Structure 1
């Protein structure tokens, strides 16, 4: 049985327009994150399911820019995001829109950004698929299989930890409770 943590620190990362701000709002159960894009990290707090939650949203990167092509400020903010919740995040949620094709180009871009951080970031990373409603009747497992080796590579790097979120259905608090439990399981595996 996984230990229930009273304090959770979460960092949201991903390229622009994946639903990071909406995810932060869904996790906290209120409109804390502005849906406009921004160049700096944003930190918000809330009480959710008997836990004090700190959520840091790192600025999104352009999906067609490698880390080398990105502005230095963006790289610094991504590095800063994990230090804004000392002693470090319990989980890094890597936000991916479920309907986005995840191929070699996306994998290389994403790997470049996560490589800015320490190698152990992978053991704290959970892939969070947003826009879960667009799956319709397809299971997430079938979707992952249909996407091929690049998405499977990412999930393998993350210890096969993933979660599907429907930001349109904020009244369904079971999806957030399940996510928080997955984060706590991740913490337990890393201890």
Structure 2
């Protein structure tokens, strides 16, 4: 599953194999495989251990239809083939006060999940192309939770089975150079 992204330093192959295609195969994911993804996300550290992340899953046709009601048309066109949709949310307030690290902790949980999915031969596609407030209402999400993203999870189909208009988008995208993403000693001083 390797892609043509180049690296400037050696990294584990799983990071190169991971990308986000939209061409899903209409094939169910077994409970054993699916819940192993969420088990990996359970294992991450969180600041003061509140574990603020949660995933709302849509696996049945009835649950997916509920999710389809708030997904924008462009995303709906391809994500209807994904057997699992997962809405990523996090609780902003812990028992004492506002949890400043809820977003970063939740991001770590999501990364564990996507890497485990990649290792298991699955693809994941995160999106924010949906109506957040409609999702909140449809799924009864309390205001103390932040909605982060919606993820389609499944097996990849051949891109030729994908609508022609979208086939050219089914390639991995080049990444920014490391030196463009890193500062030395303070903002604005890029590493050379």
What band does the TM-score fall into relative to the shorter chain? under 0.3
TM-score computed with the length of structure 2 as normaliser: 0.27
TM-score computed with the length of structure 1 as normaliser: 0.27
Considering fraction of residues, name the structure with more helix: 1
Higher relative contact order (CA 8 A, sep 6+): 2
